[in-house]
Structure 1
Amino acid sequence: MPLLVIRRYWTSYLFCMCILLASCNTQQQTSPLPPGDPDNGGLFLPGNFEAVVVADSLGRARHLTVNTNGDIYVKLTYNDIMHGRGGTVGLRDANNDGKADIITYFGDYKDEGGLPAGMAVHNGYLYTSTVKQIFRNKLQPGELAPSSKTEIIVIDDDEELRKHWHTAKPFAFDSKGHMYVPFGAPTDAAQDIKVAGPAGIPGGKGLDPAPDLEKYAGIWRFDADKKGQTQKDGYKYATGIRSVLAIDWNPMDDCLYVAMNGMDNFHTRYPQVYSAWQAAVLPSEPLLKVTENSNFGWPYAYYDHMLGKNVLQPGYGGDGKTIGRAAQFDVPAMGFPGHWAPMDLLFYKGDQFPERYKQGAFVAFHGSTDRSPYPQAGYIVCFVPFVNGKATNSWEVFADGFTGVDTVFNTSDARYRPMGLAMGPDGSLYISESNKGRIWRVMYKGDKKQFGAAQLAAMEKRKERTYIKTPDEVKDNLGMGGEMNGLVLYNSYCATCHQRDGKGDNNRYPPLVGSNWIVGNKEQLIKVILNGLQGEIKVNGKTFNGVMPAHGGFLDDHAIASIATYINKRFNNESRLVSSAEVTKIRNASGNGSTMVSSHTGN
């Protein structure tokens, strides 16, 4: 198995290796807690909690897990150090100072897609997932990188997988030898993928009945130890679940829970029904208690956390208020604000934290990508208290400070994006993030019996921050185009000619990728989308002569700004967003979108 080992803190390394040989499997459990970093690694935490940065810049980290001896394993999206191979990194703190002294990259697999997630130590095995398979390696005492033969447990043999959204394979285990795996919905809202693509198109209707529900949008149960299983070998445990990365088994009620990622782009697809503000806060990202034969209603329904009800999805005739057939589906345990992107879920089972944390769940939120024109939101770790075995309809900010900025205009503004959660053998909570690959260890250093409202007060005030609070419909409107909104609109109105990859058809329609017509010329791009284009043009050395219709007559300024933002960011790596105000100015100057741009004048 290929591996790369990086050793740090050389002055203590030889001494630490002697300790490891004698007590590798017990050291972490018996040693006192290390000191936290002076600034808690940039995190804000409840009173008497501390954090230390275990490792930094590991690569684009996803889920993580901690072995019984304290070794940490982190799943990477793509390992830049080993050029895509060695997608797992092992960390060992040999001298108990809280910092990883030994960092080992290993794994002879290469991920496909950008959303690999699963990583867990279970019954002495390290389980890992890619989008196509779940496999495991036996962990031997003293080893950081496993030398055992890889055993493939589940294979996703779907030939259409590359064309789908929501292909990650996280997993959870019960106490009876079962493993639970979500197979995500291939589309956002069950429109015909052959016509509308995964994102859907404005005004599009969902297929009814939805054929995706047969093989997707649910949880399948497998034998955790049986090799070579495919989806057909599993048991369809629950359905109507769009997309899941946050999944855990709750030992308190012996039940599976997931935090689901809700649908996107309600205003973009149904502007007559949903305002931009409604689309920013809806639908909810619900916490689901999943029992056998549960049905949570995707794609026919969504959960509105403000109403506390399932509501009929607009693609099936919903208007934001009508319940209709949504009443027949299971109701979530509670709901978080829309688009926060729950990435991991952890029921705390340790003894280090105050007792209240054993009665609830931690949730890591990656942060939104499609709340424009309002600030992006999420980017925190929450705690959901449980009372009498049930989730309360409330949540607390447990860890904050990941964004590094007060207002997140665009997802790329956030310094860190919380991703994975894991508990160490001593009860410490570990957090991973996906931008740079930083790992935090969170510890409690106070009197557990004295922990209460005073220690939580400062965190409650952090709910007033723009990336956490419910935005004011008027005051918090930033007027910026949104990349995800632009994706739907581009695929609906532009991709037929310019293609989904922006490279044109090399014949009639010019490329947008690297186009000398639009790169660095935002005003020109807005004019062309708004007013259309006619006449001969030369793009990247090749001549094109056709007519592009104007879109200003039926798309509003935010829609135009979103398309321009999407083109700039996706095809030309330009980070600056296009604002609705910029579109309005050009629209007014050109006669409300009715003046076609001439290729000769450029205006």
Structure 2
Amino acid sequence: MQNIINMSKINFLLFLVSSAVVGCVAVKSNLVSIRSDTDNGGLYLPGGFGAIVVADSVGPTRHIAVNANGDIYAKFSRSRKGMGGTVALRDLNGDGKVDSMVRFGNYEDVGSSAVGVTIYNGYLYTSTVNQVLRNKLKAGELVPTSPTEIVLTDTDPNVARNWHTTKPLAFDKKGNMYVPFGSPSDAGQDLAKFGPIGIPNGKGLDPSPELGSYGGIWRFDAGKVNLTQKDGRKYATGIRSVVGMMWNPQDDNLYAVMNGIDNFHTIYPDLFTAWQAAVLPSEPLLKVTPDANFGWPYAYYDHIQGKNLLQPGYGGDGKTIGRAAKFDVPVAGFPGHWAPMDILFYQGNQFPPRYKQGAFIAFHGSTDRSPYPQAGYIVCFVPLAKGKQSGDWEVFADGFTKVDTVVNTSDAVYRPMGLAEGPDGSLYISESNKGKIWRILYNGDKNSFGNDQLAKMELRKTSRSYIKQPDVIKDNLQRPDRLAGGILYNTYCASCHQRDGKGDNSRFPPLAGSDWVTGDKTRLINTILNGLDGEIKVNGQTWNGLMPAHGGFLDDHAVASIATYIRQSFGNRASSITTGEVSKQRK
């Protein structure tokens, strides 16, 4: 990270100036001199709150951190050596807006799910999928010039193929660092035979071999470097995928938000309807105590029924509890596939005191609730007391999508991602599509804050299609007059490539305007039949993921229908594909 790269001449001059300021800019940026944007940066907030857009179009960022002097650090979702995977942001004139942006960090991400940056004990920690790095921060420096230390390395040779592993960090008061290791499979299926999504076989391996090295959170000595997983202690298990976690200073415990499993209707159509698959299983908030076990992959949490249930891959049917009864129960549960990305326990004094008794959670939004509207895309607040939920969760920040009904993930203009608290008690929110960062301020009377200020936000819970529970019939977006190819596409393909064929700007490449699907017919046919593993280039961008094979459960006519639909939809104008052409390739 010693190298400063991608720095324009003007930013270099700003960097020199900002270095000389020794961080006093943030002191100037106080509530007296800063006013919220007239439109609150497009956000809807409780009464008395306002927002200012600190930075716009930074790039596809993940988590953020704010230093004691007000400098902001954001992690890009993808990075190659020489590109600069971290961006440092500084307000030079005290107006609350970023004046200097500098990319730095000479490291490489092996996947697209890397999350973040964390400031702890004077160090800037940067997490990639397979490493945790750190640099000592020096007073006045925007870009750290200290040597980069490798804190932790994930030695799993297949880590780049593990979509569910990220390396967010949490630190307790005793000098310990906590790191999650997500599981490669969706629900404990046999990866060697069926790939990470587990289609078509939904049966889980019992006992799950993944729980030895995955599916949990490990604790390490925060004072040490050059660690590997074996240097830590497994702190908790039964946790599929964690992107956001934080140590709560109020009750001195670790909390995490977990991404739940997918594909209930696709894999178990006789047990779960499309509606159930859209809203289940829950994305839970976990209070992670030593040796806790939250049941993945054997169990899942149903927030509608308010209990753990046996996972269908292990004999469950949406009602049976069985051995799920022995696992720890989450603090709170949110609708399925909302994708919680970050959690923050507020410690400042700018907001009303009630916000110190609970957790802010950022939801990135769903990709796989089809045929129902995609959902999430908000920041909420969960009231807590003594480690338990003390009231209904509340919509704290909304307006990111810019549309009411999100049919495809790409319809959402912004997707909330990271949370950070500023030195003056402001709340910072980042989003991953364009790289916009908001700063939330409170200018009202803290003593009179109550239900009146929350009322309008409460109405949004029942009026916005991406927040409310969908109606089984009215909110079903499937068109009864669609041809077979469209129906099959929306059943097997839309959860990744989206109903509009534009992908999700992260893991799944677009089909719209793609010569990969409109060019050589045999390439598309073979991809649907046999799956795809490894790097491909689509519309000038490199994608590196795994698509499961569909030939084992789709006949030649179905494959031809899907392929033709793709080649003649989303603005594509290619020729059709016949059943005979598919049969030839299958042989």
Give runs of aligned pairs for residues 165-180 of structure 1, distance below 5 A: 165-180=163-178
Structure 1 residues 517 and 26: CA distance shift in structure 2, 3 A: closer
Q: Which residue number corresponds to residue 469 of structure 1?
A: 468
Q: Which residue number corresponds to residue 534 of structure 2?
A: none
Q: Does structure 2 conserve the Cα–Cα contact (< 8 Å) formed by 1:7 and 1:103?
A: no
Give 1:575 shift.
4.8
Q: Which residue number corresponds to residue 124 of structure 2?
A: 126
Unaligned runs of at least 5 residues, structure 1: 492-499, 503-510, 531-547, 578-585, 587-595
Give 1:553 shift.
10
* Identity across matched positions, percent: 59
Give 1:554 shift.
11
Q: Does structure 1 conserve the Cα–Cα contact (< 8 Å) formed by 2:259 and 2:340?
A: yes
Q: Which residue number corresponds to residue 215 of structure 1?
A: 213
Give 1:389 shift.
4.2
Give runs of aligned pairs for residues 322-341 of structure 1, distance below 5 A: 322-341=320-339
Unaligned runs of at least 5 residues, structure 2: 480-486, 498-506, 510-514, 530-550, 583-587
Q: Which residue number corresponds to residue 518 of structure 2?
A: 514
1:11-59 residue CA offsets vs partner (Å, 9 max, x unmatched): x979x94996366276257673511111111111111111111111111
Instruction: Write the letter of the residue equivalent to 1:468.
Output: I
Q: In 2, Cα distance between the equivalents of 1:18 and 1:553?
A: 63
Instruction: Write the letter of the residue equivalent to 2:517.
Output: V
Q: Normalised by the size of structure 1, how large is the TM-score?
A: 0.81
Structure 1 residues 70 and 426: CA distance shift in structure 2, 3 A: same
Q: Does structure 1 conserve the Cα–Cα contact (< 8 Å) formed by 2:258 and 2:340?
A: yes
Q: In 1, Cα distance between the equivalents of 2:477 and 2:332?
A: 29
1:225 aligns with 2:223: yes
Instruction: Write the letter of the residue equivalent to 2:362.
Output: A
1:98 aligns with 2:96: yes
Q: Which residue number corresponds to residue 419 of structure 2?
A: 421
Give 1:95 shift.
1.4
Structure 1 residues 158 and 484: CA distance shift in structure 2, 3 A: farther
Instruction: Write the letter of the residue equivalent to 1:378.
Output: G
Instruction: Write the letter of the residue equivalent to 2:411.
Output: D
Q: Does structure 2 conserve the Cα–Cα contact (< 8 Å) formed by 1:204 and 1:315?
A: yes
Larger Rg: 1
Q: Which residue number corresponds to residue 486 of structure 1?
A: 492
Q: Which residue number corresponds to residue 141 of structure 2?
A: 143
1:248 aligns with 2:246: yes
Q: Match for 1:284 among 264, 282, 285? A: 282
Q: Which residue number corresponds to residue 3 of structure 1?
A: 5
Q: 3-state DSSP class of the match of 1:287?
A: strand
Q: In 2, Cα distance between the equivalents of 1:140 and 1:442?
A: 27
Q: Does structure 2 conserve the Cα–Cα contact (< 8 Å) formed by 1:75 and 1:89?
A: yes
Q: Does structure 2 conserve the Cα–Cα contact (< 8 Å) formed by 1:115 and 1:131?
A: yes
Q: 3-state DSSP class of the match of 1:162?
A: helix
Q: Does structure 2 conserve the Cα–Cα contact (< 8 Å) formed by 1:371 and 1:482?
A: no
Q: Does structure 2 conserve the Cα–Cα contact (< 8 Å) formed by 1:180 and 1:221?
A: yes
Q: Which residue number corresponds to residue 382 of structure 2?
A: 384
Q: Does structure 2 conserve the Cα–Cα contact (< 8 Å) formed by 1:221 and 1:234?
A: yes
CA RMSD of aligned residues (A): 3.6
Give 1:160 shift.
1.9
Q: 3-state DSSP class of the match of 2:395?
A: strand
Give 1:246 shift.
1.3
Q: 3-state DSSP class of the match of 1:307?
A: coil
Structure 1 residues 490 and 382: CA distance shift in structure 2, 3 A: closer
Q: In 2, Cα distance between the equivalents of 1:115 and 1:560?
A: 33
Q: 3-state DSSP class of the match of 1:181?
A: strand
Structure 1 residues 30 and 440: CA distance shift in structure 2, 3 A: closer
1:49 aligns with 2:49: yes
Q: In 1, Cα distance between the equivalents of 2:109 and 2:554?
A: 39
Q: 3-state DSSP class of the match of 1:242?
A: coil
Q: In 1, Cα distance between the equivalents of 2:11 and 2:378?
A: 31
1:457 aligns with 2:455: yes
Q: In 1, Cα distance between the equivalents of 2:95 and 2:231?
A: 46
Q: Match for 1:109 among 107, 110, 113? A: 107
Q: 3-state DSSP class of the match of 1:385?
A: strand
Q: 3-state DSSP class of the match of 2:193?
A: helix
Q: Does structure 2 conserve the Cα–Cα contact (< 8 Å) formed by 1:25 and 1:141?
A: no
Q: Which residue number corresponds to residue 62 of structure 1?
A: 62
Q: 3-state DSSP class of the match of 2:517?
A: coil
Q: In 2, Cα distance between the equivalents of 1:147 and 1:5?
A: 15
Q: In 1, Cα distance between the equivalents of 2:43 and 2:496?
A: 38
Q: 3-state DSSP class of the match of 1:229?
A: coil
Structure 1 residues 212 and 50: CA distance shift in structure 2, 3 A: same
Q: Which residue number corresponds to residue 271 of structure 1?
A: 269
Q: 3-state DSSP class of the match of 1:513?
A: helix
Structure 1 residues 418 and 476: CA distance shift in structure 2, 3 A: same
Q: In 1, Cα distance between the equivalents of 2:458 and 2:129?
A: 37
Q: In 1, Cα distance between the equivalents of 2:356 and 2:179?
A: 25
Q: In 2, Cα distance between the equivalents of 1:228 and 1:236?
A: 18
Give 1:169 shift.
0.7
Q: In 2, Cα distance between the equivalents of 1:208 and 1:265?
A: 19
Q: 3-state DSSP class of the match of 2:277?
A: helix
Q: In 2, Cα distance between the equivalents of 1:501 and 1:9?
A: 34
Q: 3-state DSSP class of the match of 1:440?
A: strand
1:443-468 residue CA offsets vs partner (Å, 9 max, x unmatched): 00111111111111111111120000
Q: In 1, Cα distance between the equivalents of 2:339 and 2:508?
A: 25
1:91-129 residue CA offsets vs partner (Å, 9 max, x unmatched): 111112110011111111121110110211111110010
Aligned residues: 533
Q: Does structure 2 conserve the Cα–Cα contact (< 8 Å) formed by 1:283 and 1:304?
A: yes
1:176-206 residue CA offsets vs partner (Å, 9 max, x unmatched): 1111000001110110001110001134200
Q: 3-state DSSP class of the match of 2:295?
A: coil
Q: Which residue number corresponds to residue 158 of structure 1?
A: 156
Q: Which residue number corresponds to residue 39 of structure 1?
A: 39
Q: In 1, Cα distance between the equivalents of 2:223 and 2:342?
A: 23
Give 1:5 shift.
3.7
Q: Does structure 2 conserve the Cα–Cα contact (< 8 Å) formed by 1:190 and 1:299?
A: yes
Q: Does structure 1 conserve the Cα–Cα contact (< 8 Å) formed by 2:377 and 2:466?
A: yes
Structure 1 residues 167 and 65: CA distance shift in structure 2, 3 A: same
Q: Which residue number corresponds to residue 314 of structure 1?
A: 312
Q: In 1, Cα distance between the equivalents of 2:406 and 2:495?
A: 23
Q: In 2, Cα distance between the equivalents of 1:201 and 1:85?
A: 36
Q: Does structure 1 conserve the Cα–Cα contact (< 8 Å) formed by 2:235 and 2:291?
A: yes
